[in-house]
Amino acid sequence: MTVTEASVPSDVDGALADFQGQLNLIFAKARLLWKDSAARIDPELHVTGYKLLTFLDGAGASSAHELAERFEMDKSVISRQVRMLECHALLESRPDERDGRLRVLTVTPKAREALARVRAEYALRLRAAIGELTVDEITTASKVFRLLAEA
């Protein structure tokens, strides 16, 4: 490879740079979406609380310790969010049947309904945004996101 060839970015480098730029835009849009979604559930709900709620809604139940590990957050942050979510009747806490020292956290019916409403609205927006894609293109995009999540 000559010096001239090394200084000219390859097609792959250019495509990766564009891809990285688009990912940055998606992440910025996701942060705005999380903030908006949190506010739709409760005006005082923090984005962190929204993320915890969505995870718990999908997982069914978890402990604060598991949440701290999963989201790589300090236990004090999780504790504050759990208290706030309980205060707004979005989260319930009960003793763990196997280990009474631990608390099992679950979303309330109120939270489940609010999350379903927000997800339905987002699904409509997403469908409109990618409506021109074929099923194969959507499947390929999903594969790319899965690979990135596993990296």
Question: Contact 82/63 with Cβ under 8 angstroms?
Answer: no
15/45 Cα distance (integer angstroms) = 38
The whole-number pLDDT of residue 8 equals 55
- pLDDT, tens digit only, all 151 positions of the chain: 555 555 556 888 999 999 999 999 999 999 999 999 999 999 999 999 999 999 999 999 999 999 999 999 999 999 999 999 999 999 999 988 888 788 899 999 999 999 999 999 999 999 999 999 999 999 999 999 999 889 8
The whole-number pLDDT of residue 9 equals 63
Q: What domains are there in the chain, each with its CATH number?
A: 23-150 (1.10.10.10)
The whole-number pLDDT of residue 7 equals 55
**29 in helix, strand or coil?**
helix
Where b means 16+ CB within 10 Å and e means fewer, 98-110 reads eeeeebbbbbbee
The whole-number pLDDT of residue 96 equals 83
